[in-house]
């Protein structure tokens, strides 16, 4: 059975967490991020391994196969050329005059752009029409699903990704094409987005579409999925929407990322400061109700993104549950993320994995209490992942609780008409019996009583299925429908048990 590590979400601690951009200059962030990127480069060869994943994704045929193969060849060519250019970069700076170097650099960029051009396409794509998902799509007319792709993904790759998502979840999926300029070009763009808040056209299009759906009164739920660099764009979208839209509108949004390269994720609490800093915050609600991140432990991109941000930067704001597949490699969206979590037993059958989750036998094999066996073994990974009891990372929450609150960048002037700075920031509700108020507006020991500690305790002994929400959408279902089904199943089980006792 797969080993899955679970990092509980950040709760409370309003004086402990902040995003890096509010604590460091862009240049310093850029240099530090570049340094961290260098430390994870040894994992670069593992981005595409394992190769033999027995992917259940329908294979492209005809023109689609030609486009997919051509896109892969172009990405490989771009990567090789960029490696050569990086090797020649320092010698060129030394040997060439300034203007000549600038001209050569611009020429190289133009050549790379021309090579990448055939992989580009429309900024917005839709999952292919499929009669098998029309019935479930009609059941959810007030939902919208949006996907943002990651690095090294051409237009044909994005189409394959959203088609797979559509098959899995029984909804039409809109894809926003985060265009690729080769592996190293994409990594450079990630640096600029993370450290300089550089909003590419892809990010601006994503902000526009997400806002349009959220303000639409006919839309009750927006599910935003993102992979790799798409996680950075999703975090930028969240930042922009939090500045423009009220909390009740943002409450329509759900976010799920895979191998995210994002350095932060905002999700402010909906309660007031007094409620946030009181021991009752264990029931705290957040503006965006559901955020989940899935990562492979030895995937280079999340080791630079979500895993570094949550495991190393303890004062960094990164909202959401984090699920880590231990010792797993690979960064491909379908082969290394969707297939291990949600494989499909039959091509074109979006409900096959759902039947297995419900313990139903199917035409390919038998389901028992321990797992699934079938001709291809495709469902074994899904049951192994979702039915795994998580290994709760207790070290990270403990380190968070013991982390010193952020030091002020500059001291406020202590004026009599405002009272002392410390007392001014301590609400009356933060006192607890005879306990003395903390100088940072948090009851002493608050985080150990509620917040992270309670989330950590609640997760112990639970499976991924019990902690995750995304899987509940499989096969056109919904979390609400599954909750009703679970209640009916429990009631039926109690009735059977009562009947047996009667005999």
Q: How many CB atoms lie within 10 A of CB 362?
A: 18
**152 vs 457, more confident:** 152
Q: How many CB atoms lie within 10 A of CB 45?
A: 10
pLDDT score, position 452: 66
By the 10 Å C-beta count (0-12 exposed, 13-18 middle, 19+ buried), 281 is classed as buried
Check pLDDT > 80 for residue 130: no
Tens-digit pLDDT profile for residues 37-51? 999 999 999 999 888
Single out the residue of 41, 26, 315 nearest to residue 194, CA to CA.
26
Instruction: Report how far residue 178's alpha carbon sits from residue 397's, in angstroms, rounded to the nearest whole number.
Output: 34
Percent of the chain with pLDDT over 70: 71
Global confidence as pTM: 0.83
Mean pLDDT, all residues of the chain: 80
pLDDT score, position 429: 40
Single out the residue of 11, 62, 50 nearest to residue 267, CA to CA.
11
Per-residue 3-state assignment (H helix, E strand, C coil) for 288-301: CCEEEEEEECCCHH
Check pLDDT > 90 for residue 223: yes
Instruction: Report how far residue 495's alpha carbon sits from residue 344's, in angstroms, rounded to the nearest whole number.
Output: 34
CA–CA distances in Å: residue 423 to residues 203, 277, 416, 430, 432: 42, 15, 12, 12, 16
Check pLDDT > 70 for residue 243: yes
Instruction: Report how far residue 319's alpha carbon sits from residue 307's, in angstroms, rounded to the nearest whole number.
Output: 12
Instruction: Tell me the sheet residues that pair with 321.
Output: 292
Give the angle 55-229-239 at the CA atoms, nearest 5°. Answer: 130
Check pLDDT > 60 for residue 449: no
Check pLDDT > 60 for residue 311: yes
Residues 6+ apart with CB under 8 A from 169: 145, 350, 473, 474, 475, 476
């Amino acid at each position: 059975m797969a080993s899955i590590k679970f990092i509980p979400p950040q709760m409370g601690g309003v004086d402990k967490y902040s995003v890096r951009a509010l604590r460091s200059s862009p240049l310093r962030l850029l240099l530090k991020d570049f340094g961290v990127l260098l430390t994870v480069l040894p994992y670069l060869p593992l981005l595409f391994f394992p190769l033999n994943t027995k992917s259940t994704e329908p294979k492209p045929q005809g023109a689609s196969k030609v486009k997919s193969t051509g896109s892969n060849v172009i990405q490989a060519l771009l990567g090789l050329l960029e490696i050569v250019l990086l090797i020649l970069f320092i010698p060129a700076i030394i040997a060439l005059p300034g203007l000549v170097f600038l001209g050569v650099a611009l020429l190289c960029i133009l050549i790379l752009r021309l090579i990448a051009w055939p992989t580009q396409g429309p900024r917005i794509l839709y999952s292919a029409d499929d009669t098998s998902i029309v019935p479930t799509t009609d059941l959810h007319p007030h939902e919208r699903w949006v996907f943002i792709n990651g690095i090294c993904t051409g237009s044909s790759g994005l189409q394959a990704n959203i088609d797979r998502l559509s098959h899995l979840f029984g909804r039409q999926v809109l894809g926003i094409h985060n265009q690729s300029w080769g592996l190293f070009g994409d990594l450079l763009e990630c640096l600029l987005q993370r450290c300089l808040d550089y909003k590419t056209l892809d990010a601006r299009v994503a902000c526009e579409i997400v806002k349009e759906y959220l303000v639409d009164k006919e839309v009750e739920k927006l599910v935003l999925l993102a992979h790799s660099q798409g996680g950075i764009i999703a975090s930028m979208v969240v930042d922009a929407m939090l500045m423009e839209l009220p909390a009740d509108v943002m409450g329509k949004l759900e976010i799920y990322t895979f191998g995210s390269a994002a350095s932060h994720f905002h999700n402010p609490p909906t309660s007031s400061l007094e409620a946030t800093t009181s021991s009752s915050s264990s029931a705290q609600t957040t503006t965006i109700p559901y955020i989940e991140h899935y990562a492979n432990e030895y995937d280079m991109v999340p080791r630079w993104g979500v895993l570094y941000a949550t495991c190393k930067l303890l004062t960094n704001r990164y909202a959401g549950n984090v699920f880590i597949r231990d010792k797993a490699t690979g960064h491909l969206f379908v082969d290394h993320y969707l297939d291990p979590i949600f494989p499909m037993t039959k091509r074109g059958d979006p409900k096959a994995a759902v039947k297995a989750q419900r313990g139903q036998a199917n035409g390919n094999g038998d389901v028992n209490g321990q797992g699934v066996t079938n001709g291809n073994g495709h469902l074994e990974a899904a049951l192994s992942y979702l039915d795994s009891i998580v290994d709760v990372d207790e070290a990270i929450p403990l380190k968070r609780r013991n982390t010193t609150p952020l030091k002020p960048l500059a001291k406020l002037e202590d004026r009599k008409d405002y009272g002392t700075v410390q007392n001014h920031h301590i609400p009356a509700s933060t006192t607890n019996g005879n306990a003395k108020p903390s100088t940072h507006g948090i009851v002493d020991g608050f985080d150990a009583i509620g917040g992270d500690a309670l989330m950590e305790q609640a997760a112990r002994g639970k499976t991924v299925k019990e902690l995750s929400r995304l899987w509940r959408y499989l096969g056109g279902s919904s979390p609400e429908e599954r909750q009703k089904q679970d209640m009916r199943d429990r009631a039926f089980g109690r009735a059977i048990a009562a009947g047996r006792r009667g005999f």
